[in-house]
Amino acid sequence: MESPFKADILKGKVALLTGGGSGIGYEISTQLGKHGASIAIMGRRKNVLDSAVSALRSLGIQAVGLEGDVRNQDDAVRVLESTIKHFGKLDILVNAAAGNFLVPAEDLSPNGFRTVIDIDSVGTFTMCHEALKYLKRGGPGQDSSRGGIIINISATLHYTATWYQIHVSAAKAAVDSITRSLALEWGTDYDIRVNGIAPGPIEDTAGVSKLAPDDMLKEMEQNVPLYKMGEKWDIAMAALYLVSDAGKYINGTTLVVDGGLWLSRPRHLPKEAVKQLSRVVETRSRNAPVGIPKSRL
């Protein structure tokens, strides 16, 4: 789909994306690059990084792949230093690295729970913490009157509760809290904007293919108010909005991009049955004897 944003809105910007070599992270990498940014991708799998960088460069995007694990502070430091070495500065950090799998709570080991917390929550904080000196107002390559931008990829699982994903729900709740706290502290002290994006079910992603069988996906689509799953492009456009000047006064917000799914519930009555019931109630109310409270009807 054609982007609604001008092609040069991120000209001269440098973005580092964890988990930016595949899925939603790769689409964000692509769209930030298409709109003028130089792209550094951090990931654990060299083959994925090499493939992603090759694809980005084929689009005319300046890109580099950097091996590293967000759970490892030394890796975070090294990747950030390498990004600065390649591009001279850092303007945008996108934390898209995540872990997930389905498991009943009673079958989830503490180590399994901890692994997802470490990737999603601790990894997000670690990358933010180590990137601060490069993103803050007046940091290396930064404008002396303006700071950088952080986007943390979250989810909607913890807004209510989600079957068999207690570990991810807890991790993403922590990510949202990190987003708000850093937005408050670093927005005030360093003019860094920190926001999140909470995607719903996005077609053609590992998350959907691993976590939901085909029959469940069809049922899910029926429950989404827009009656369709999202696309990776939708999340990338939300990211573009948040990192562009169009979003310059947005800070501490986690933008839900799920077609309204988290708000939805299955219909227990067809719409026509509800309309008929409403007409009956209205008729009884109009015909009620004077002096009898309608609440007693």
Q: Is the dihedral of CA 129, 130, 133, 134 positive or negative?
A: negative
Phi, psi torsion values for 267, nearest 5 degrees: -75, 130
Other residues' Cβ atoms within 10 Å of the Cβ of residue 173: 17
Burial label for 160, CB within 10 Å (0-12, 13-18, 19+), is: exposed
Please report, for the chain, how many H helices and E strands are present, in that order: 10, 7
* H helix runs in 158-213, sequence order: 166-190, 206-211
Span 14-266 CATH architecture: 3-Layer(aba) Sandwich (3.40)
What is the CA angle 124-57-59, rounded to 5?
A: 105
The candidate with the shortest Cα–Cα distance to 98, out of 24, 38, 35, 161, is 24
272 conformational bin, left if phi > 0, alpha if psi -120 to 50, beta if neither:
alpha
Question: Three-state SS for 144?
Answer: coil
User: Which value, to the nearest 10 degrees, does the dihedral of the CA atoms of residues 181, 184, 190, 192 take?
Assistant: 80
SS3 label, residue 18: strand
pLDDT tens digits in sequence order for the chain, 297 residues long: 889 999 999 999 999 999 999 999 999 999 999 999 999 999 999 999 999 999 999 999 999 999 999 999 999 999 999 999 999 999 999 999 998 888 999 999 999 999 999 999 999 999 999 999 999 987 787 777 789 999 999 999 999 988 899 999 999 999 999 999 999 999 999 999 999 999 988 877 665 555 555 555 555 556 666 556 789 999 999 999 999 999 999 999 999 999 888 887 666 667 777 677 677 666 776 776 655 555 554
**Per-residue confidence (pLDDT) for residue 215, from 0 to 100:** 55
Q: Collapse the DSSP code of 58 into the 3-class scheme (helix H, G, I; strand E, B; otherwise coil) and give the result.
A: helix
Please, are residues 140 and 89 in contact by the beta-carbon 8 Å criterion?
yes
Q: What is the pLDDT of residue 297?
A: 47
Q: Is 62 left (phi over 0), alpha (psi -120 to 50) or beta?
A: beta
Burial of 204 (0-12, 13-18, 19+ CB in 10 A): exposed
> Cβ(24)–Cβ(199) under 8 Å?
yes
Every domain of the chain and the residues it spans: 14-266, 268-297
Reduced to 3 DSSP states, what percent helix, strand and coil does the chain have, rounded to the nearest 5? Answer: 50, 15, 35
